[in-house]
Amino acid sequence: MEEDPQESISEQPLPGRMAEYGTLRDEILRRMEMRNSIVFGTLTFTGALLGFGLETPALALLYPIIAMFLAAAWVQNDTVISNLGRYIRENLEDAQTGLRWETERQKNRLREAQSGKIYPSAIFSSEGVFLITQGMALLIGFANQPRFTILEWGLSAAAVICILLTIAFFHYSSINNIR
């Protein structure tokens, strides 16, 4: 007979559950720091690469491709944060522990999502950084190139596809946060 994982968690002694909560919250904070590092690193990288891209337009067209992978890393960390929060809400927060932070945060996220208004958030601001810098790179690539070679056309097509994938990644992250 298999043991129900939900029962075993709620039957754990309170100190064990509190220790697990503390460990998971620490992991969430670590992942949030990683997300911030990715954004700040992206901004630094953007300045350097696009500075060279003014001289070599094909280099600017590489940026949206690289930025898409950095955005994917950001979204991966955001997804883990959401999953950890969901686990805490569903398995550790109850009357016995007195913990409510994740449950209350989720109520606020749902209320904001249902209102239809755009609220400043980590997803909104980070998505803006990635998409604006990708768009700038595309404009630099196009503006400085009187005649595209096959390589530039290929890089341009790949850049546009990567920008669309970046949009899809952040859309997934937004949906995942309100589940």
Q: Distance between alpha carbon 40 and the CA centroid of its chain, in Å?
A: 13
**Average pLDDT over every residue of 146-156:** 86
Please provide the average confidence, as pLDDT, over all residues in the chain: 87
Number of H-type helices and E-type strands within the chain: 6, 0
Are 87 and 81 in contact by the 8 Å Cβ rule? The answer is no
Where exactly are the structural domains of the chain? 11-177
Taking the complete model, does pTM exceed 0.75, yes or no? yes
Res 24: pLDDT: 95
Q: Which residue has the higher pLDDT, 132 or 9?
A: 132
Q: Can you tell me which residue has the tokens 């400043």?
A: 120
Write the CB contacts of 143 (distance below 8 Å, at least 6 apart in sequence): 57
Between CA 63 and CA 67 the distance in angstroms is 6
Enter the DSSP assignment of 146: S
